[in-house]
Structures are given as C-alpha cells and as structure tokens.
Structure 1
C-alpha cells in the first residue's frame, strides 16, 4: 500500500504520519516512511537548495523542476523497490504538493505541472492520499510559534499564497477517489481515528 499525506504547512500531517506508522507496526506490518523533498542522498541535496531562504531568486519553473527531480529519484530508488518488497509506504508529501503549491499557489499552468508529474513518477500513484485541511488562519498562528530562523523558504510565503494552495488542495480532492479530506482542526487523536477508519475501509475492499 502506498499512502501519502498532504496539506498546507503547519497542518499537522507529520504527526499523523508517525501515528499511522506506529499503528501499522503494531499490526506487524513492514512500514517505510519517507518525506518530500528528500529521502535519498541526491534528493536531500535538492531539498537543501529548495528550502534555503538564501535562494530567494528561484523562479517558479525552477522550483517545480527541482521538486520533481527529487521525486523522480525517490520513486525509482526507494518507493518502487519498497512497494515491490511488500512494504507499506507512507510519504509526507508527494506529487500533489507540486500541483497545489507550484500549480495553484505559484500560478504555473496545471496541465504543465501534470505533464511533469507523468515523467517524474510514471505510474507510481498513491492508493490513498489524506489531505489534512486547516484554515490558513490556524496555520498563521502555528507559524507564529516558530522563529524566522526555523522557517524554510516555502514557509515564509504570504497568507495569500497559502490560501491559493489550500483552495488548490480542495479542488484536487474532487478529482480522484483516492483523496480523503480530513478536518485538521480536530484533536490529534480524533484525526488519527478518522484516518484509521479510512484505512480499514480501504483494506476491506
């Protein structure tokens, strides 16, 4: 099974990734957790370039292609081999992030973004994608709890940008059956239980 988690920054998805990993491991499953961008030696180097605030002159086309390059390496080096071994793969972000952030957020043509996905990931599509949805106002409050030094190049983006990204995620969610939008304003435990219910439904198909 290949499961991905999406949502705007500070939505709490990384916490849910860890909880789901623990859930599967208690059931005796082999679980591989990966993050985007990153996950391989090459992809981590690309991550450093993408998230470094010093790179504030990066064009949106460059950003999309760097994310996709990192993803292409991750798919071939880690994700596909893990799936072939029978592991459950959980990814903290995947290609839908680029559709939401670089497509809807930055304003790149969605068709162009989707074409880049076809090259980068091929047929490696998640079985389930959880979108942890929170209002931008909550993200802003959580962001305020961090120092400027702790924030990366994407996280310092404007509230208007995040509104576009959030709306992008909600638009994407209507397009494919694999998406599950989860109310990220609920408690951590409530969100986890909702996710487990969706997983159990999927397994019973």
Structure 2
C-alpha cells in the first residue's frame, strides 16, 4: 500500500516475474542430481545392477569414468580446463562450470558402462542444455524445450523417484517455458557471470 492507500502491486505476481535461473535449477539441480546418481551407480559392482553392462577392464566404474574424462579431446570445446582428478576425488563438491562440462560430454563417456535409463537421462540433459543456452527463440524451439524438459524430469524420476517430492528444483524447471515466452531466452538473464566483478567493490 502506498501513502494514498492504493495497492500498487496488485498486478505483480512474484512467481511469474521471477525467472528460472539455469545455473541453480538446471546445472546445480537436475545435472547435480544425475551426477550423484551416476557416481552411486558406478560405485556398485556391475553384477549387482540390473541391465548394467559389464566391462572387460579390471577396474571400478568410477576409475573407468575418470580414465575416459582424462582422454577426452578438448580442442574446439568451449569449456574451462577439465581437472579430472579434482572432479572425481571431490565429486560431491562440484560447481556450475563442472556440471556444464559434464552435461556436454557425459553420454559419450558412459554409453557402455551404465544402465540404459541412466544413459537416456544424460542424453536428455545434453539435448535440453543445448536449447537452454540457445539465443534463437522460435515457436519450434519453445515446443521442443517443453518436450525435452518433460522427458528429462521423467527420466530423473525413473532413476530416483524420491527426488520428485524432495527436490523442488525439478518442479521449478518445468516453468522454464513460461520464462521463455515472457522474458526471452533464459541464458540472457543468467546473472552469475557478473559476480566475477564483485571483487572490484
């Protein structure tokens, strides 16, 4: 209420006006949940996981994951330096840049060492990420993003159903399309980049 007694915020809906942040919702949400599920999946012996292929190398799944991350060809890839040893040793303490890298390469690394539903989820992560970081907003992209996000949420639910009721970011991610329609591409209001300049003050 202002001094005249009129309600100046009558048309404000904070839920609609607050955009979904792809760093917190997608990278530190969905991708982080899948990364945790992947590590747990690989730490269990292959013979104890249904539908998980066994690998001829006499090594654990996490060790094999590390070897493949190290062997990635990184030229022409617009990502920070991949510190594989750190990412594996501190796999519960990764940040956004790590998850952005993993979202782009994971399907090629794990295709023959995980169960099919885990691979499907990571493929959907990569495809959804491409659309989230797209500047070209057309009706076709809007429809495809909604479809991809829905399929991704379903894939996460198949891997870890309890996340659907314990993590609100999965629900919030479904509203990404609302922001696409109202506020243009979500990558345009990703404000975390500007935190780099906080040290100036």
Higher-helix-fraction structure = 2
Higher-strand-fraction structure = 1
Which structure would you say has the larger Rg?
2
TM-score normalised by L of structure 2? 0.30
